[in-house]
Chains A and B, each alone.
Chain A
Amino acid sequence: MAKTVFVKDTAITGKDRTRDFYGFFLGGLREKGLENDVQLVRVADIGVYGQGMVVRVLPEDFLYVNVQDSDIPAVITESVIGGKPIKDKLFTQASKQARIVLRNCGVIDPESIEDYIARDGYQALAKVLGEYTPEKTAQEIKASGLRGRGGAGFPTGMKWEITRKAPGDQKYMICNGDEGDPGAYMDRSVLEGDPHSVVEGMIIGGYAIGASKGYFYIRAEYPLAIARIEKAIEQCRKHGILGEGILGSSFNFDLEIRLGAGAFVCGEETALIASIEGKRGYPSPRPPFPSIKGLWGKPTCINNVETLANIPVIILKGGSWFAGIGTEGSKGTKVFAVTGKVKNSGLVEVPMGTTIEDIVYGICGGALSGKSVKAIQTGGPSGGVIPKEYFQTKVDYESLQKMGSIMGSGGMIVMDEDDCMADIAKFYLGFCVDESCGKCAPCRIGGTQMLRLLKKVTDGEGTRKDLDQLEQISFAMQKASLCGLGQTAPNPVLSTLHYYRSEYEAHVDKKKCPACKCEKLIRFLIMSEKCVKCGMCFKACPVGAISGNRESGYLIDQTKCVRCGQCFEVCKPRAISRS
């Protein structure tokens, strides 16, 4: 492997300085005449977060954090040329993380198949083609206990076996890269950072189920992921890893890419198949399951990006190795995209069974300064909230479900004391209502009615009867909706109603929002005794609701105020009250 240096600004606040830093570093290399010998790459994800400017030097894999511009000459002379680490800059990995899926992300050049091969890439494929029968391949995955990472958690090995056994002259492998949960970008990072691992997983899957053709279904909003997969496929064809007689075996397999056109529901497998077939992205009833009757009516296996990225490692290290990680029902690791009101947001990969507390506080550093964490939301719009009191819960499929949430694809949004639970539920439900395909009535009409009720509640116009109606529609939607989107859309509402009913009741009974979030229910007032008459609020108000001058002081006209909170934010002496 040639000398390579990756750079990435991981600071949470402020401007991304990666580009400037790259320029300085390149300058440093030029001074030493190394610009042609060292490959300097700006990467999208380097594996650590909130650690300022991060530099990774390869092949030694020195990871430096909080690197200043002035450190560049030392990094170049000591590490790049000298091959020695600078001890005090080295990043000590948080031990709670375990990188299987993200093993190569930020470590290799994603556009180089050689880099991937250098890190055991395509060894697993060679192993199955050389030593394993398709049955044995599926068996190995079954033994690993790997479950689908797309959300539902169906055992992957079993899915492969069913598809392999389903009668059909032609079978298909599909990679579901239509990641769409708000705040989730696990699949995107893998597709962009380590495309070959997913391609390898696809080929192994194709071999196991007896498919000769596979499709990548990637949302069009991920242009870099698409470009990287395209390039990976091209490189594979050139290296005899895709096409006829792969790696000298008799196995033929090829891949194509299909782009999702922006419908969230197309991540649902039957809608995804309809979309690939060129039809309206409507889900269809199951059974028949895609494993029996899928794309073009043929047995089809659909696996999520993260699931597939696990495959090569499992084959190389063995199913029992993988089964040794995690909990009884959930094996291996899970990648979470932790976002929201948390100090270090980003991707974390942890063994199944890690507690929420370890993720939120241990790895991600807890709440932003001066605030306290209130709850997390997992599973995207299909999931539910888990209050701080239950942060000892382990993340695995069963435990999260028991808490009224789901694993989902791995979105984890941290909420603090400023977040109103009714408002959060409204946000998620609004997402599902917007993304509903409109086919089945419970989701189409039920979701719209629920959103109307939630709006009533957060506007302070709700009644206790509205809360009952919310629950009633939720139950009907869960049971009567056709696909997962509609069945799980009420989850955020039900779980917030379960854990934070008193907040809802404050909205409907007292017409108050305890978190001071719902704009119709709050008022901003200037407390004259604290006011220093600086006029900042006057300047900040976007609608001219504040009148007065530096002599007489200021007043908020409640009829004009839009409750944006700008004045509240800018007031240094905290002379503006929010109630």
Chain B
Amino acid sequence: MVKAVINGLKVEVPEKTTILDAARKAQIKIPTLCKHPDSYLHASAACGICLVRVKGSKKMLRACCTPLEEGMDIITHDPEIVAIRRTVVELFLSNHPNECLTCGRNNNCELQSLVADFGIREEFYEKIVKDIPKDDSTGNIVLEPRKCINCARCVDVCQNVQDVWALTFLHRGFNTRMAPAGDISLADSPCVRCGQCAAHCPTGAIFEKDDTVLAWKALRDPEQYCVVQIAPAVRVALGEAFGFPLGANVTKKIYTALRRMGFKAIFDTNFSADVTIMEEASEFVERFAHKKGPLPLITTCCPSWVDFMEKFHHDMIPHFSSAKSPHEMMGVLVKTYYAEKNKLDPAKLKVISVMPCTAKKFEISRSHDMSASGFQDVDVVLTTRELARMIKQAGIDFSNLPEEDSDHILGDYSGAGTIFGATGGVMEAALRTAYSFVTGKKLPKVEFENVRGLKGVKETSIKIEGAEVKIAVAHGLANVEYVLDQVRKAQKEGKPLPYHFIEVMACPGGCVGGGGQPYGVTDELRTARAKGLYSDDEAQTVRCSHENPYVQQLYKEFLGKPLSEKAHHLLHTKYQPLPIYRR
């Protein structure tokens, strides 16, 4: 532990704690623009706002990257420090377009807040803003480099957390700008659309493509029959936009809000997550118990991970589960099963999804398989952030809404479906069902604590009928390399497989930390959201996918059994190697 003094207050913090974090513990907020509180990101020391000084010293230190040392006497606010901070903020302002009113981050921008806090009423320096064109080539993540303040968060997250290396800095000096490496379009770059860049951006320089207009258009068209689904992780994050505590589960308020917005049927991706488990667990049992197909089996619910694998890990394609993601399964089931059952014309059905994810916007047109119903299975994808905006636009007083239920039967889920939103959740849900499929018995305890939590790679094993199933769970794409290398090494040396079943989620923490979730993600927030999901699981009477009576009904009425021909046609897909750079 290190003992020191900050602004006359005694503090005691663990070694290597930065002055910024130590000050926070003493209720002192040092402003910064480049340091994100998320521990995955490094301090780039780029903004020059978090300046502090050792008492009596003329030199100023950056609080974000300077560790507090024993006996230090730190001053965080004095007239000179504040004046310099103000000048730096004014300099930022002189290099930033005044488009706040129409910016994607209006009311939610870190630069805007800082300028407001400093009470800057007049622009002191002449505006010098370079005219760099917008890049909306991907159709899901938009780069607006004019608004970039070069904080390097996106580059850090893209290179070091996600290992994608799509974003970098080009040129130097005043011409330095964040861009895809090689100055190509984002769509041609290795970008996997995880949206972590957008989730961490302090300004409106990177944001999700706004599809709320498309959603409103469909909702207001009397010819269209709009159906909505919400993903597991949305329910524990949306509340943050309306002042609910971190991780609060607002599922039923979301149902009410969606119904009031005009959706004809409110479904839940948790139901199709249960269906995914039926297919994926069956696939695993086929490969593991009946030796049909290669092991390990790797989960494919995450479209960024799928894109990453198709670009960087071609050799792993045979190991991928062919089951589609829950999101796509819901789409196809609505346009086939639900349409047939309710005698609706699938051409007039619009499926709108609310996802914690920017990559889901990309997934809906990923391949022909995403139109298995004969129509594009999902029409519009909204992120959690977009839904929050729509609720506000609709004039709905969200926090005081009554709670309503979802619609049958595609809205009835088990506890296994809801934990999909946290890292390890898919694995846990699959194990619950796979165990029963192999043994025919009920699990004595459904929780698998070893696959929960925020450790980058979680390795464990369970016994099914005396056979050991070795598993690995990875989240944050930079953690994938290690897991896959273990597999490759064993394959090459002819040794026993290190794992039989692998779950990968692109975003740190899984979907609760997704790129489309409300801003300000930290491990504390990821944990709180995951906790919300695990509580939702515990609150359910049915906690295994195969025990969900409505899933059973779906198979009885429509699909037959898992991995049936119909199920294969509607619920499964194929993968293909893709070049890392499209040109």
Contacts and interface: CB of A to CB of B under 8 A. Distances in A.
Interface of A: 263, 265, 280, 284-285, 287, 433-442, 444-449, 452, 469, 472-473, 475-476, 479-482
Interface in B65-95: 65-67, 80, 84-85, 87-88, 91-92, 94-95
Contacts of A473: 87, 91, 125
A462 to B, nearest CB: 12
A445 B174 contact: yes
Nearest to A465: B124
Contacts of B169: 280, 438
Contact of A472 (B87, B126, B150, B171): B87
B172 interface: yes
A248 B311 CA distance: 54
Contacts of A444: 150, 173-174, 176
Interface of B: 33, 43-49, 51, 60, 62, 65-67, 80, 84-85, 87-88, 91-92, 94-95, 124-126, 128, 149-150, 152, 168-169, 171-176
Given A280-B169, A472-B87, A440 B176 contact: no
Contact of A433 (B62, B94, B174): B174
Contacts, number: 108
A260 to B, nearest CB: 14
B54 to A, nearest CB: 13
A380 B48 CA distance: 24
A440 B172 contact: no
Nearest to B85: A480
A452 B66 contact: no
Given A435-B173, A436-B172, A441 B128 contact: no
Contacts of A265: 172
Given A452-B126, A473-B87, A473-B91, A439 B174 contact: no
B66 A285 contact: yes
Contact of B51 (A285, A434, A480): A480
Q: Give the 5 A-B residue pairs with the shortest CB-CB distance, closest first.
A: A438-B176, A480-B48, A476-B87, A436-B173, A285-B45
A446 B91 contact: yes
Given A287-B66, A438-B150, A480-B60, A445 B94 contact: yes
Contacts of B66: 285, 287
Contact of A476 (B45, B62, B84, B176): B84
Given A285-B62, A285-B66, A469-B125, A441 B91 contact: yes
A440 B174 CA distance: 10
B128 A287 contact: no
Contacts of A285: 43, 45, 62, 65-66
B128 A476 contact: no
Given A435-B172, A441-B46, 16 more contacts: A263-B172, A433-B173, A438-B174, A439-B176, A440-B45, A442-B48, A444-B176, A445-B92, A445-B128, A445-B174, A446-B88, A448-B95, A449-B125, A469-B124, A476-B91, A480-B48
Main SS of the interface on chain B?
Answer: loop
Contacts of B60: 479-480
Given A433-B174, A445-B174, A469-B124, A479 B84 contact: yes
Contacts of B80: 479
A280 B175 CA distance: 15
Contacts of B171: 438
Contacts of B87: 446, 472-473, 475-476, 480
A285 B63 CA distance: 11
A481 B48 contact: yes
A473 B90 CA distance: 10
A480 B66 CA distance: 14
B518 to A, nearest CB: 27
A446 B173 CA distance: 11
A449 B128 CA distance: 8
Given A441-B91, A469-B124, A480-B51, A448 B65 contact: no
B180 to A, nearest CB: 15
A449 B91 contact: yes
B47 A441 contact: yes
Contacts of B150: 438-439, 441, 444
Contacts of A476: 84, 87-88, 91
A476 B48 CA distance: 9
17 contacts: A265-B172, A285-B43, A435-B173, A436-B174, A437-B173, A438-B150, A439-B152, A445-B95, A447-B174, A448-B95, A448-B174, A469-B125, A473-B87, A476-B84, A479-B84, A480-B48, A480-B85
A27 B94 CA distance: 68
Nearest to B50: A480
Contacts of B47: 440-441
A473 B293 CA distance: 66
A166 B303 CA distance: 46
A176 B125 CA distance: 38
Given A285-B43, A482-B46, A442 B88 contact: yes
A480 B48 CA distance: 5
A467 to B, nearest CB: 14
A285 to B, nearest CB: 4
A435 B171 CA distance: 11
A445 B93 CA distance: 10
A437 B149 contact: no
Contacts of B176: 437-439, 444
Contacts of A263: 172
A437 B174 CA distance: 8
A472 B86 CA distance: 11
Contacts of A441: 33, 46-48, 88, 91-92, 95, 149-150
A388 to B, nearest CB: 30
A381 to B, nearest CB: 13
A479 B57 CA distance: 12
A480 B84 CA distance: 7
Contacts of A438: 150, 169, 171-176
Contacts of A433: 173-174
B92 A449 contact: no
A480 B174 CA distance: 17
B523 to A, nearest CB: 23
Nearest to B95: A445
Contact of B91 (A437, A442, A479): A442
A437 B80 CA distance: 26
A112 B230 CA distance: 78
Contacts of A475: 84, 87
